[in-house]
Amino acid sequence: MTNAVCHRDYLSAAHIQVRIYDRELLVMNPGGLPAGLSVEALKQTHHSIPRNRQVAEMLFYAGLIEQWGSGIEKMMRECSAAGMPEPAFESDMAFKLTFKKAAQEASGVSHGTSHETSHERPMSSTEERVRSFCKRPRSREDIAAELRLSPEYVRRHVLPGLIRAGKLQHTIPGKPQSRKQRYLMKPT
């Protein structure tokens, strides 16, 4: 959704649309791809062409985007880490992004793996990197530097899920906002 807000055509009166179906999620954004950018090029390292630079800057400073031009790569990585098919991209008068459920999820088949029976989701590659990096106490800034993300992004989007899932722990449990706070891999 952040990518849709960042790259939508603000000259269009149309809205960003999100359609949720049983087997897929479709996000449609007004305006196709900017001139000179193809669907094929999106799947490779490419330059970002935000339609409204001020919106992109605001999203960056709010910690909602890491760097320009990395959104599609991140979506593809996260889908892969979750065992989902690569998202499908289409561009004509609108840009369409379709996320499909994993084959076993879509068919209702369960193989009884531990994360399915305990209702845990598998860790993303980013979460695995953080957990591995935090074998000794690390600050939020250390983690952000290791991941090449902003400390604010790490604080808002990476650390909370790992702490809730019991994968990381605070070194100062009673003061989660302390400037001296460090994060440590929780023993399994």
pLDDT tens, residue by residue, 59-68: 878 877 776 6
The strands making up 24-30's β-sheet, listed across from edge to edge, are 17-20, 24-30, 94-100, 88-91
Mean pLDDT, to the nearest integer, of 109-133? 60
Domain count, the chain: 2
Residue 134 sits in a domain whose CATH number is: 1.10.10.10
Name which residue leads in pLDDT, 173 or 80.
Answer: 173
- Strands 183-185 and 168-170: what pairing? antiparallel
- Are the C-beta atoms of residues 165 and 186 closer than 8 Å to each other? no
Regarding whether 54 and 21 lie in a shared domain, the answer is yes
Name which residue leads in pLDDT, 103 or 138.
Answer: 138
Regarding whether 34 and 87 lie in a shared domain, the answer is yes
Among 106, 133, 153, where does a domain finish?
Answer: 106
Regarding whether 7 and 69 lie in a shared domain, the answer is yes
Regarding whether 39 and 10 lie in a shared domain, the answer is yes
Among 52, 79, 106, where does a domain finish?
Answer: 106
Element of type H or E holding 59: helix 53-61
| pLDDT > 50? residue 166 | yes
Regarding whether 92 and 24 lie in a shared domain, the answer is yes
Please tell me the pTM assigned to this model: 0.51
| pLDDT > 80? residue 88 | yes
Regarding whether 169 and 129 lie in a shared domain, the answer is yes
DSSP state at residue 15: P
Name which residue leads in pLDDT, 109 or 125.
Answer: 125
The parent domain of residue 57 ranges over 2-106
Regarding whether 6 and 98 lie in a shared domain, the answer is yes
First to last CA, the chain: 34
Regarding whether 80 and 102 lie in a shared domain, the answer is yes
